[in-house]
Structures are given as structure tokens and as C-alpha cells.
Chain A
Amino acid sequence: MSLKRWVEIAMLAVALESTAATNMQVDVITQGLDTPWGLEILPDGRMLVTERSGALYLLDANGTRLAKIANVPPAFVKLQGGLLDVVAHPQFATNATLYLSLAHGSQKHNTTRVVRAVLRDNALTDVTVIFDTTPKSSSVHYGGRLAFMPDGTLLVTTGEGADFREHAQRLDSLLGKVVRINDDGSIPQNNPFVGRTDAEPAIWSYGHRSPQGLFVDSMSGVVYLAEHGPRGGDEVNVIEKQANYGWPIATHGLDYSGARISPFETYPGMREPLVYWTPSIGPGGVALYRGEMFPEWEGDLFVAVLGHRHLRRIDMDGDKVLRQERLLEHMDARFRQVEVGADGALYVVIESVKGEPRSGQVLRLTRRTHPGPAEDSSHQSTQMSAAQPPGAATFQ
């Protein structure tokens, strides 16, 4: 590519950045949530949001609470465990079927569990356990993100439980994996390790540490996964069938103690991340933008960042990372999840603001109807919107 072309791309990137920041309207559509974790936008625009402490709420399209869903299976709530993600079945409009992930068990024996249930009259019915990981005895690194693939199979991320990190490389363990199951929990026969006696047949990819973001691009079928490294080595990976993503043999991170996890940052046969961060930023959910509201963001990745407290846009050119941008940094909030609505708006789950209890929110990022002057940044826009959020609902 010529130098002129690179300059053009750089100028375009700067122009897009300016436009996006100026034209972004941020509305707090729900607040007062207790460590919200998962968000699912239903086909009719209503939303489901999980609280890690165990509650599942149904919201209308404007964020107003419609109901607290009854009969949610109890979760093991401790440290990073609790009620985690929620996704709707691809045919939810006709079968009202949901999938929930949660930590299950006790301190000495817990799993990442997936249940299937039918949402009927603001309650879950026909609750069925369809998947459990290999048990572990730590209350951290559960994974638990759920996403349907275009073929109707369900991907589930599982963490390696910290003390069991080598399990991420073991094919006879379901810790530290992306697993793929059918919508009834059975194993798809075209999974890569089906038929091997030394491997769990549900495994789709392995070598993961603490994967808390998962997104399937329905247009291309590409699967993106965001995972926490230790001290450094946070990653976004493009997930492929049977691939090994290295943890803990290959990592760009160090252990919290200051020791090396491994002598290797890369290793033959193990996949390199699409992008990694050292020092760590603490990535949560990930989403690829497809929508008409922000055409300048088409094909860009968004990462909800917990540790460094912002929403990160990764400007992509195909599968190449051009640049990265921090959004909503001034909110001093732990960003947990990001979803793209059918209208092209971004929906962002905030776990907590300034560390306050029950300060979780759901934000909606839309294009401003009346774009402000160039100096009118997203910072100012957000403050104004957050003070008087139209249609905002408060949970007490």
C-alpha cells in the first residue's frame, strides 16, 4: 500500500473519530442495578438483564423495568461467581426459550452451568440443565458468556478457575475452553474432538484463561472472544474450530506475584491474539458493530473495559487493527457488556459507577439528532444526557 493511501486512511480515521465523538448521544436508560452482567435484546426490542447477585429483569425498549423474572435457578454467588449471561434462542419469537449461564455449586465444588428455560408470564418454566463444566474449587474465572452461531449451535465460554490454569491445555477438562453444544445441550457431531476417547467432545477451542466476552458476527460467522490475562496479556481472539489459544503456555502476561507464567509469549501451533493489552485493561464483553446509525463504525469492535473503566472502540480494516479509541472514560465506571441493537444503537452495561453499590446501569448510545459543534465531545454529551435521561427508569 502506498504512503499516500496510508495518509488517506489516517486522515479518514481522524475525521471519523471527530464525527463519532461529536454525534454520540448517551442515555442512561436503566440504573440502580446490582452488578449487572448479561444483557439480551429480544426480537421485539424488550431487554433482559442479569444481576450477578441472582436476579433477572425484563425491561421494555426504553429501559423501564417491566418485571423481575421469577423461578430463576439459584446461583453460587461468591467473588466472580453468580448469575452470569442470558441469551435468547434464535427462534425466541416463537418458542420463548432462553439460556442462562451461572456459577453452580459450592466453594469446594463448583461449575459453570448453562440452563435452558421458557419465559412465560414473567417466570421461567421448564428449566433444564444442559451443560456443566468440569468441577473446580475456586470462585473465580467462570467464563460464562453465551452466543449462538449462525447454524443454531450455542457457544459457551468457560474459565480455567485460576488455580487450575493448566486445565486450559487439557482436552479431558472443560475448564478454559470455548464449548459448542446444540440448543438442547447435546453435542454437535461435527465438533472437532468428537470420537476421541481422551477429549471432551463439547470442546470447540481451548487454551483460554478467563473469557468474559463473546460475539458471533452473524454476517461473516466470525467469532470474537475477549479474555482477561493476568498482569498483562488481556486479549481479543478470533475463535476458530480446534484452535489452541495458548494459555498458560503462551501468554504476554505475568503472574500477579511478579513471576513468569511461562517462558513463552508465543508457541508453535498456538494462536496469537488479534489484539492484546499489556498492561491489562480488564476486558469484559465484546461486540462487532453492524448498523446504520453509525456507518463510520461499521466493522469496528467494541470492548467493555472493566479495569481501565471505559468503552473501547477498535477501529478495524477487515481483520487489521488500525487504531483504538477510549469512550466514556470520564464516567469512572466498570463497563461489563456491550451489545448492538437492531436499530444500530449501542447498549452498554455498566457494572458499577465509582465503586458505589447498586450503581449498575444500562446505557444507550445513539446518534445525536442535532449534532453539536466540534468541541462538543462525547464527554459533555454524556454528562448532559445522564443528568436528565429521557425515559430513564430507576431500580430501587
Chain B
Amino acid sequence: MQAARLVRIAFAFVIAGCAGYLLASFLFTAANLWRLSEVGAQISFADAARTFWFDVRGLAPSLVWTQYGSLIFIGLAIAFPIAALLRYAALRATSTAKIEPFLYPLAGATAIATILVLSFQTYEVYAFAGARGWLGNLAQCFAGACAGYLFQVLMQPSEARA
């Protein structure tokens, strides 16, 4: 029973992490291409698709922990257990139970925000150019929130999801 639960958590984490990473990568590329088009670059759909595919591979998680994809997975791996603890605490009181649905998305968004803040403090420039500006930051945090939401959905019992 315990093993089945662990497998379920791992499955949910991997699926949510991959989805969050893909969305973050897509928004990363979109932000960069939008900025280029703002200064006159003519970018076709094929150019954009090719760039997105390149970036998905270029930013992908690897054994190099400073890769953006690796950092996303590390960040979510820290954030989701904290969210689980907070969820456990929140459900114990009626007054705080209402925030329970927001905890995993909030944890995902916070994980990405922390990555961006720490990398900026380390390098003193945006290490991840697709996250530049408040819109770029929000877009990446949105991807983290989506990962959290998906994790939450996948962790629900199947009858509850139905």
C-alpha cells in the first residue's frame, strides 16, 4: 500500500514536473521571440517552432544542476513536500481548509520565483533571458503554478477526479 502510494507520488511528480518544464520552456522561448520581433525580426511559425524545439532540449534537465530544467525539478521537489505539510495543517482546521486547493499551485509558483531570484542574486543579471522583466517572471511562475495544480490533480484519488 505504502509502495503504491510512493509510486503514485513519483509518477505525479514526474508528470507535473515535465508539464511545468515544457510550459516554462515554451513561455521562455515565446518571451525571447516576442522581444526580437519588437526590434524588427520577422519570425515565421516555422522559425518559432524550430526555436521552441531547440530550447526544450537546450534547457532540459540533466546531471548539470544549474540547467534551468534541473533547477525546476529541484525547486518543485523542495516545494511540493512543504506544500503537503501545509495542506495537512490546513485541513485540520475549518477556517484554513479553504486555502488547501491553492497550496500546490502556490508552491510551484514560489519554486520558480525562488529560482529566478537566487539566480539573479548570483549572477547579477538574468541568467534565464526568457524570464526577463515582470511579465517574463510572471509567465515562468505561471508555469510553476500549473505544475503544482497538475500535481494536485494527479494526487487526488481517481474517484475524486471523476
Binding site for B on A (CB under 8 A): 79, 107, 138-140, 162-163, 165-166, 169-170, 248-249, 254-264, 267
Contacts and interface: CB of A to CB of B under 8 A. Distances in A.
Interface in B25-43: 28-29, 32-33, 35-36, 38-41, 43
B50 interface: yes
9 residue pairs, one from A and one from B, having the closest CB atoms: A258-B58, A169-B39, A263-B47, A259-B55, A162-B125, A249-B41, A263-B51, A166-B39, A259-B58
Most chain A beta-carbon neighbours within 10 Å: one of B50, B58, B60, B130: B58
A258 B67 contact: yes
B127 interface: yes
B58 A260 contact: yes
Nearest to A169: B39
B130 to A, nearest CB: 7
Contact of A169 (B40, B59, B127): B40
A163 B125 contact: yes
Interface of B: 28-29, 32-33, 35-36, 38-41, 43, 47-48, 50-51, 54-55, 58-60, 67-68, 124-130, 132
Given A169-B40, A170-B39, A258 B124 contact: no
Contacts of A254: 58
A139 B68 CA distance: 23
Nearest to A139: B124
A254 B29 CA distance: 13
B36 A260 contact: no
Contacts of B67: 257-258
B58 A166 contact: no
Contacts of B130: 259
A262 B36 contact: yes
B132 A163 contact: yes
A267 B36 CA distance: 12
A271 to B, nearest CB: 15
Nearest to A230: B129
9 contacts: A162-B125, A170-B39, A249-B39, A254-B58, A256-B127, A257-B127, A262-B51, A263-B50, A263-B51
A166 B35 contact: yes
A170 B36 CA distance: 11
Given A259-B58, A259-B68, A263-B47, 14 more contacts: A138-B124, A139-B124, A140-B125, A163-B125, A163-B132, A165-B129, A256-B127, A259-B59, A259-B129, A260-B54, A261-B32, A262-B36, A263-B48, A263-B51
Contacts of B39: 166, 169-170, 249
A257 B36 contact: no
Contacts of B41: 249, 262, 264, 267
Contacts of B54: 259-260
Contact of A258 (B40, B50, B59): B59
Contacts of A139: 124
Nearest to A269: B40
Contacts of A79: 124
A322 B126 CA distance: 38
A107 B43 CA distance: 34
Nearest to A255: B129
Contacts of B126: 162-163
Contact of A249 (B28, B40, B127, B129): B40
Nearest to A167: B39
Given A259-B130, A260-B55, A166 B38 contact: yes
